[in-house]
């Protein structure tokens, strides 16, 4: 079994800490996956005040002030898809997911995206292994246990290749510095080690995990939920979307209730 590198061990410990410190806003997904709703800006009053700006001077300062009329307006705005008021409420999620999931997720472009960089750090030496549910379709097992074992062995081999070759390159850099053939490191990022990381990251499999901060407005978040929670969405990103929706619901139970009421009325 591949030993996790130092950075991966630090992230694993951070996941454990965040799950303990923020249990209502954080979820573990699979063996190494993770998602947390770290922060939000704005609330139901922000949406209502924004929507009313052209028709009324009434302003709400607290969710506790909401009346049935306010709730009815929220239902109307959501039901009729009046989008712009919902662009004034923001969410910042942090998630750790396989790179192939990130490639789907980043297509939701009306957001900001800050990802773990393999130019500055070694890759996360943990990778996605599909469980029974992930590899079964209508009762048929797409990958057998034996195939999953070979899959995991191959991923371990590739990750071990990175660790071994990076260590070998760093040893040669140190030897050449000691002999005077390379200049001593003078502070900041080591250009030789940096280039090694840039070259070796090319072998990192898309099953490896990466770490992202995702900041998104509520309108775009609803679009993400609508597309990625569908049964036709890929299983792995759907797991994250369902978890993100549950965390949203913990933070905004009224909005979640209204959204689900509208969906029921449609259906």
- Return per-residue pLDDT of the chain as tens, 267 residues: 568 899 999 999 999 999 999 999 999 998 899 999 999 999 999 999 999 988 877 888 888 889 999 999 999 999 888 889 999 999 999 999 999 999 999 988 778 999 999 999 999 999 999 999 999 999 999 999 999 999 999 999 999 999 999 999 999 999 999 999 999 988 888 999 999 999 999 999 999 999 999 999 999 999 999 999 999 999 999 999 999 999 999 999 999 999 999 888 876
Distance (Å, rounded) from C-alpha 251 to C-alpha 245? Answer: 10
For residues 148 and 128, what is the distance between their CA atoms, to the nearest angstrom? 11
Any domain includes 104: yes
95, 113, 122, 209: CA torsion to nearest 10: 30
Q: Is residue 70 part of a domain?
A: no
Q: Which residues are catalytic?
A: 228
Q: Assess if residue 51 is contained within a domain.
A: no
Can you tell me which residue has the tokens 């040893």?
171
CATH number at residue 187: 3.30.1360.170
Strand order in the sheet with 26-29: 26-29, 33-41, 90-98, 209-217, 111-115
Q: How many domains does the chain have?
A: 1
Determine, yes or no, domain membership for 71: no
53 part of a folded domain: no
**Is 30 domain-assigned?**
yes
* 79, part of any domain: no
Which range marks the domain in which residue 148 is found?
6-42+89-266
Q: What are 72's two structure tokens?
A: 């009815």
- For residue 19, being part of any structural domain is answered with yes
């Amino acid at each position: 079994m591949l030993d996790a590198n130092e950075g991966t061990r630090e992230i694993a410990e951070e996941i454990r800490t965040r799950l303990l410190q923020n249990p209502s806003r954080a979820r573990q997904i699979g063996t190494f996956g993770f998602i947390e709703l770290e922060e939000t800006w704005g609330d139901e009053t922000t949406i209502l005040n924004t929507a009313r700006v052209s028709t009324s001077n009434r302003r709400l300062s607290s969710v506790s002030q909401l009346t049935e009329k306010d709730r009815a307006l929220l239902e109307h705005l959501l039901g009729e898809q009046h989008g712009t008021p919902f662009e004034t409420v923001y969410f910042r999620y942090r998630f750790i997911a396989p790179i192939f999931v990130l490639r789907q997720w980043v297509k939701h472009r009306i957001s900001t995206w800050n990802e773990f960089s393999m130019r500055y750090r070694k890759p996360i030496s943990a990778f996605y292994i599909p469980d029974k549910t992930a590899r079964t379709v209508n009762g048929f097992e797409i990958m057998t246990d034996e195939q999953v074992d070979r899959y995991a062995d191959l991923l371990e081999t590739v990750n071990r290749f990175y660790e071994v070759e990076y260590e070998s390159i760093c040893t040669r850099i140190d030897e050449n510095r000691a002999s005077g053939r390379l200049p001593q490191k003078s502070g900041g990022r080591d250009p030789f080690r940096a280039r090694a990381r840039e070259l070796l990251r090319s072998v990192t499999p898309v099953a490896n995990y990466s770490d992202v901060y995702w900041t998104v407005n509520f309108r775009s978040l609803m679009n993400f939920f609508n597309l990625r929670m569908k049964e036709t969405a890929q299983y792995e990103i759907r797991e994250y979307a369902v978890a993100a929706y549950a965390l949203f619901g913990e933070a905004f139970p009224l909005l979640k209730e209204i959204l689900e009421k509208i969906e029921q009325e449609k259906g």
